[in-house]
């Protein structure tokens, strides 16, 4: 069994250390890097890459989002999981647009946090109805503008986004589409991948537009 | 006489030509003046209206900015404090063998968890980007689904005639959500229902929410009012939304019908 290497960027020391202890109690997890600000993480994490970084969004100076964007340039295989009070947060959506593949809620039960991390490691992501709605808007916009790359979002993924945006639970969606909950979460992970590509293309187009 | 006559005829002819022209000039002049005045007046009211609208818009924006600011400050300040308490109490559990003490710590942990949840709901209501029926119904659906499933109760959720983009204020969202939440908690606590049907319909600027218990015990509204079951609270919130709530008792349990004006 491979061990999931985890790093934590969280300015609340008590929270970070409790999490670390809990992770190290698991057979399949190991955590020996804790950072209390984005700057330290940006300095040391690229040299000691891990599988999953748990990132608190609100950090003292540079934000968690900035830390993630910087570190991901050096660690292409690292997955970023945002740590947040609630999932309708605008910043969570921003993070996902820039490459985060998951988020965990701070008041989530510890067991649920651990399950979420295992799911993330095996390529599954969560998605709230609000995030689903925002992603549908983005993809609809990209479809209209022919200058941008027409995204290869499959009809299955579109269907899934529609159901998620209406607030259906993973279980209900799995039943409707006749797939497992695990597969639902893997579809979400792929949608996040595509969203990130779309976001990069958009940024590149804006950049090219400015140069002309 | 003939000379005199000629002069009169001459002036008469002249007058009959000139007078109408003169009169029409005066008439046209008056008309133009009137038009100009009307135009100016219209412009003035338009300007005033525009200024008023700009002012209203600015005020609305200021309120929205303030809402977002309060939300993000709550999130950052209160959120970190509560999270720390939650994690510390979680950690304390490991060191405690005394049962009474263990229970106290468990209460602290539960309480901070509930507070974090309540806070998220306030931040949710403060977020102007979510002031629409689509996001609102999805939120209710997910909350009800998760909550009822956690307590082994089925949910059947139906929505009709919804226009996702219809605007609904944060205050209404919060009040209506809390009413539904309170009813759901009551159902879990007292009803013994095996499943719940929620039907939401948008019709003529009204939102109608029907919640029906299946296999529930049901209760007499007048008998239960004011017995610490949140019914007063529910009524208060519905009243605040200028809405209406009906409690109907059936053999299969209760049916609640909430109606509110959207705008």
Of A165, A139, A167, A117, the closest CA to residue B140 belongs to: A167
Is a pLDDT exceeding 90 seen at residue B4? no
DSSP symbol at B200: E
A173 Cα distance to chain centroid: 20
pLDDT of residue A142: 65
- Helix H, strand E, coil C: the string for chain A is CCCEEEEEECCCHHHHHHHHHHHHHCCCEEEEEEECCHHHHHHHHHHCCCCEEEEECCCCCCCHHHHHHHHHHHCCCCEEEEEECCCCCHHHHHHHHCCCCEEEECCCCHHHHHHHHHHHHCCCCCCCHHHHHHHHHHHHHHHHCCCCCCCCCCHHHHHHHHHHHCCCCHHHHHHHHCCCHHHHHHHHHHHHHHHHHHHHHHHHHHHHHHHC
DSSP helix/strand/coil, B86: helix
Q: Which residue has the higher pLDDT, B240 or A150?
A: B240
B188: DSSP letter: I
By residue count, chain A amounts to 212
CB contact under 8 A, B123 and A168: no
Looking at residues B44-65, what average pLDDT do you find? 88
Rounded Cα distance between B58 and B153, Å, is 47
ipTM: 0.83
Q: Which two tokens stand for residue B199?
A: 């039907």
Q: Do B138 and A12 touch (CB under 8 A)?
A: no
What does the pLDDT average to over B234-247?
92
Percent of chain B with pLDDT over 70: 98
pLDDT at residue B215 is higher than 80 = yes
Question: Residue B158 above 70 pLDDT?
Answer: yes
Go through chain B and tell me how many residues it has. 263
Residue A168 at interface with chain B, using a CB cutoff of 8 Å: yes
pLDDT at B60: 85
**Residue found by looking up tokens 């969570």 in the block:** A92
The answer, yes or no, to whether residue B97 has pLDDT greater than 90, is no
Q: Which residues of A touch B129 (CB under 8 A)?
A: 90
Shortest CA distance from B112: residue in chain A: A107
Res A124: pLDDT? 94
CA angle A175, A180, A186 (to 5 degrees): 120
Q: Which helix (H) or strand (E) holds B158?
A: strand B154-160
Q: Which of A198-202, B62-66, B100-104 has the highest mean pLDDT?
A: B100-104
Rounded distance, CA A128 to CA A176, Å? Answer: 18
The β-bridge partners of A33 are: A7
pLDDT digits (tens, 9 = 90+) for B164-185: 889 999 999 999 999 999 999 9
A169 and chain B: CB distance < 8 Å anywhere? yes
Burial code (b: 16+ CB inside 10 Å, e: under 16) for B175-190 equals bbbbbbbbbbebbbee
pLDDT at A45: 95
Helix (H) or strand (E) holding B84: helix B79-92
Q: How far is B42 from chain A, CA to nearest CA, in Å?
A: 40
Q: Which pLDDT does position A119 carry in this prediction?
A: 94
Those of residues 34-63 in A touching chain B at CB distance below 8 A are 58
Residue whose entry in the numeric block shows the structure tokens 């900035």: A66
pLDDT truncated to tens, each residue of chain A (212 aa)? 689 999 999 999 999 999 999 999 999 999 999 999 999 999 999 999 999 999 998 888 899 999 999 999 999 999 999 998 877 777 888 999 999 999 998 888 888 899 999 999 999 999 999 899 888 888 777 665 555 555 678 888 999 999 999 999 999 999 999 999 999 999 999 999 988 887 777 766 666 665 54
Domains of chain A: 4-121 (3.40.50.2300), 129-211 (1.10.10.10)
Nearest to B253 by CA among B203, B170, B173, B195: B195
Chain B residue with Cα closest to A56 = B80
Q: Looking at CA atoms only, how far is residue B96 from chain A in angstroms?
A: 16
What confidence score (pLDDT) does residue A6 get? Answer: 97
Give the Cα separation of B8 and A188 in Å (integer).
102
Residue A151 burial by Cβ neighbours in a 10 Å radius (0-12, 13-18, 19+) = middle
For chain B, the average pLDDT equals 89
Partner A contacted by B75 (CB < 8 A):
yes
Segment B19-27 shows an average pLDDT of 89
Answer whether residue B237 shows pLDDT above 90: yes
Distance from CA of A133 to the nearest CA of B (A): 8
B167 secondary structure, DSSP code: B
Chain A neighbors of B89, CB-CB under 8 A: none
Residues of chain B in contact with residue A110, where contact means CB-CB under 8 angstroms, are 90
Q: What is the pTM of this model?
A: 0.81
Buried b (16+ CB within 10 A) or exposed e, A23-62: beeeeebbbebbbbbbbebbeebeeeebbbbbbbbbbeee
Contact check, Cβ <8 Å, B116/A106: yes
- pLDDT at residue number A212: 47
pLDDT at residue B227, rounded to an integer: 76
Give the least confident one: A151-160, A195-204, B50-59, B250-259: A195-204
What pLDDT score does A56 carry?
Answer: 92
CA-CA distances (angstroms) from residue A45 to A123, B18, B197? 22, 99, 50
Averaging pLDDT over each range in A167-181, B31-45, B54-68, which range is the top one?
A167-181
The chain A residue lying nearest B111, using CA atoms, is: A107
């Amino acid at each position: 069994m491979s061990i999931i290497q985890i790093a934590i960027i969280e300015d609340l020391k008590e929270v970070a250390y409790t999490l670390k202890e809990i992770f190290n109690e698991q057979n399949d997890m190991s955590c020996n890097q804790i950072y209390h600000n984005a700057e330290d993480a940006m300095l040391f994490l690229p040299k000691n890459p891990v599988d999953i970084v748990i990132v608190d969004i609100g950090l003292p100076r540079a934000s968690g989002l900035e830390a993630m964007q910087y570190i991901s340039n050096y660690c292409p295989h690292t997955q970023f999981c945002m740590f947040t009070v609630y999932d309708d947060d605008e910043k969570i959506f921003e993070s996902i647009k820039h490459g985060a593949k998951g988020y965990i809620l701070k008041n989530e039960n510890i067991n649920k946090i651990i399950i979420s991390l295992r799911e993330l490691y095996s390529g599954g992501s969560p998605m709230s109805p609000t995030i689903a709605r925002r992603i549908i808007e983005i993809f609809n916009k990209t479809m209209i503008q022919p200058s941008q790359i027409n995204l290869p979002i499959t009809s299955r993924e579109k269907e899934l986004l529609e159901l998620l945006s209406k607030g259906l639970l993973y279980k209900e969606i799995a039943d409707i589409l006749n797939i497992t909950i695990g597969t639902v979460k893997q579809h979400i992970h792929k949608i996040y991948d595509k969203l990130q590509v779309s976001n990069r293309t958009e940024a590149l187009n804006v950049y090219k537009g400015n140069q002309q | 006489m003939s000379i005199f006559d000629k002069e009169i005829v001459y002036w008469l002819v002249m007058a009959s030509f000139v007078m109408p022209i003169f009169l029409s000039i005066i008439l046209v002049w008056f008309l133009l003046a009137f038009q100009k005045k009307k135009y100016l007046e219209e412009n003035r009211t338009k300007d005033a209206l525009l200024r008023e609208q700009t002012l209203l818009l600015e005020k609305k924006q200021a309120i929205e900015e303030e809402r977002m600011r309060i939300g993000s400050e709550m999130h950052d300040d209160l959120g970190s404090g509560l999270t720390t308490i939650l994690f510390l109490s979680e950690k304390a559990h490991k060191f405690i063998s005394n049962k009474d003490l263990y229970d106290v710590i468990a209460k602290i942990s539960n309480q901070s968890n509930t507070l974090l949840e309540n806070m998220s709901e306030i931040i949710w209501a403060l977020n102007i980007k979510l002031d629409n029926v689509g996001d609102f119904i999805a939120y209710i659906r997910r909350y009800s689904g998760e909550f009822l499933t956690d307590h082994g109760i089925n949910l059947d959720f139906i929505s009709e005639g919804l226009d996702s983009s219809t605007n609904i204020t944060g205050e209404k969202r919060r009040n209506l959500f809390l009413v539904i939440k309170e009813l759901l908690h009551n159902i879990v606590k007292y009803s013994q229902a095996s499943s719940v049907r929620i039907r939401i319909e948008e019709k003529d600027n009204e939102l109608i929410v029907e919640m029906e218990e299946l296999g529930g015990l049901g209760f007499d509204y007048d008998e239960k009012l004011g017995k610490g079951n949140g019914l007063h609270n529910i009524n208060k919130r519905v009243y605040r939304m200028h809405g209406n709530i009906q409690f109907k008792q059936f053999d299969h349990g209760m049916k609640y019908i909430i109606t509110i004006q959207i705008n």
